[in-house]
Structure 1
């Protein structure tokens, strides 16, 4: 399922030349076992020895809204795995930062972000998911 409430423009450049194509990308839910119906968030982490690696975890729609409302995505440099409409994208699906301008006003996701009580601590399930990306809330 695509979360069309969030749209980020992306320009694809063909490897062998040709015209560049700009498409709208949306977060999409995973179809694999444990992460079925969840969105993938990705973060770059420095490991000992100075090596930069990407860590990812999967969060539900409500958890994604909570992370956005609390500013966690921006604070820790998270990006969201995106896909073009129709699910077709050459090679790998890109990751993109979600800015406030990328969220459609008064959409289901925007309303979910607005009702989040930022004074409440994150759920244990969300904190556990974030530990996979070296983030402690």
Structure 2
């Protein structure tokens, strides 16, 4: 499933011939068993003395809305794995940082973000998912 409530423009420049292609990208749900129907969020992790790595985890529609409402995606530098709405992307689908301005106002996702009670702590499932990315949500 594509989450077309969020759209980000992305330009890819070919390393071979310099041809520029522009894509309209959307978050999409995974099709694998354990992460079926969930969105992949990705974060760069750097620790002194270790090589920088990317860590990802999968979250549901509601958990993604909660992360937006609490500002956690921006605070911890998360990107969301995206794919084009039309055609195919010529390489591995990119992970893009999504600003709240990329969310279509009044869309079902925008409404879900607005309905989140940010005074309540994050659910145990969401906190557990974020542990893979070295993030601990307090509330």
- So what's the TM-score if we normalise by structure 2? 0.94
How many residues align structurally?
137
Task: State whether residues 30 and 37 of structure 1, in contact with CA within 8 Å, keep that contact through their aligned partners in structure 2.
Answer: yes
Alignment partner, residue 39 of structure 1 = 39
The CA deviation at 1:48 is 4.5
Alignment partner, residue 24 of structure 1 = 24
Task: State whether residues 68 and 100 of structure 2, in contact with CA within 8 Å, keep that contact through their aligned partners in structure 1.
Answer: no
The CA deviation at 1:36 is 0.1
CA distance in 1, matches of 2:106, 2:55: 31
Alignment partner, residue 63 of structure 2 = 63
Alignment partner, residue 106 of structure 2 = 106
CA distance in 2, matches of 1:43, 1:92: 16
CA distance in 2, matches of 1:15, 1:51: 26
Structure 2: 5+ residue stretches without partners = none
Structure 1: 5+ residue stretches without partners = none
- So what's the TM-score if we normalise by structure 1? 0.96
Alignment partner, residue 118 of structure 1 = 118
Alignment partner, residue 8 of structure 1 = 8
Q: Is the deviation greater in 57-66 or in 100-109? A: 100-109
CA RMSD of aligned residues (A): 1.2
